[in-house]
Amino acid sequence: MVLARKHLIKVAPYQAGRPIEEVKRQFALRNVIKLASNENPLGPSPKALVAIKKNLHLINRYPDANGFYLKRKLAQVFNVSLANIVLGNGSDELIDIIVKAFVEKDEGIITSEGTFLEYKIISQVHGRKVTTVPLRNFKYDLEAIKKKINPKTKVVFISNPNNPTGTYVTQYEIEEFLHDLPEDLLVVFDEAYDVFIDVDDFPKSLELVRNQKNIIILKTFSKSFGLAGLRIGYALAHPQLVRYMEIVRQPFNVNFLAQVAAEAALEDKEFLKKTRQVILEGKNYLYVALNKMGLAYVPSAANFILIDVARDGARVFRQMLKYGVIVRDMQQYGLKDFIRVSIGTKEENERFIRALKKVLQY
């Protein structure tokens, strides 16, 4: 007898990157590096750590359910109102909130194949229909997505830059896509990796939030500020959308230490600058090394690179573990000959290349 809701039987759960301690135990290794989950290789923001230590004695109290001080700081940073902001226990929870708040049982979601898996998984968990459109040259095909929109479509999720390919859609492409869309269709831009952008034509999505009522932007403290373990993200949207998201959001969803750490991290401009420098320099090093090895890869606007290893990527992933290097295989994304590697420190990047050469027998 199955007690769960019937539609859950067909849902494939999200597979997270392998933890360091698990790999140490499995292979009896002392030194393991993780380049699988697009985390900040420099660790957390130092100012965030100071704030956490300063406030540890207060964790017997519930956090501010509305996150006033963090919202106030975000409002100053983005020049928006507190009424434009929703806090979430990571972007994952915000995606869940969006589906619960806006998508009726007979309405659907559209996103791309080869994109962040949680758009599809969360929607399926709630029993909502999900339509996926193939990537074109590893990039969102907004023209094809637009053709799939029908009167029952409620939300379009766009990861920009896209995880796991690292590609992005431009300002012009977004303007073309948004033109003549139904007013009751929500477009969600997931900008988890926007801090690493070094191009001029990335969309000015904040202006869209100010000028349109059907746009939601998702951002996170996990990547650039190194707070992945605290699980904190936020959404920027029109106050009317925010009101409904707040109804769905659970009270105390963002813990106290996450709030004070995130508020402090927003002041840590030096750490952010250093993080960008490490990622951009590391990306260039990996490009050069991969070119010398003759390996194809997708040029990335994020802090990771999708690499075509021209063989079973899952097998390469498993073999890399023996050398104490955790990367991400792309089986769940349907990219069987690929791995994804997060850009690490100089030493981590060099160790990754050495291990990859051994595994591929270069």
- Identify the CATH number of the domain defined by range 6-44+269-360: 3.90.1150.10
Q: Which amino acid is at 173?
A: E
Tokens of 312: 């079973």
- For residue 328, what are the β-bridge partners? 340
Alpha helices in 266-344 (DSSP H): 269-293, 313-321
Q: Is 182 helix (H, G, I), strand (E, B) or coil?
A: coil
Give Cα 349 to chain centroid, integer Å: 21
Over the chain (362 residues), the average pLDDT of each successive run of 10 is: 78 85 92 96 97 97 97 97 97 97 96 96 94 97 97 97 97 95 95 94 92 94 96 97 97 97 97 97 98 97 97 96 96 95 98 97 83
Angstrom distance (rounded) from CA 203 to CA 193? 13
What pTM value is reported for the model? 0.94
Q: Which residue in 343, 341, 332, 333 sits closest to 359, CA to CA?
A: 341
**CATH 3.30.750.24 fits domain 46-265:** no
Ranges of CATH 3.90.1150.10 domains, the chain = 6-44+269-360
Q: Which amino acid is at 76?
A: Q
Ranges of CATH 3.40.640.10 domains, the chain = 46-265
Angstrom distance (rounded) from CA 286 to CA 276? 15
Q: What pLDDT does residue 1 have?
A: 62
CA angle, residues 138, 219, 234, in degrees to nearest 5: 145
Q: What's the Rg (C-alpha) of the chain? A: 20
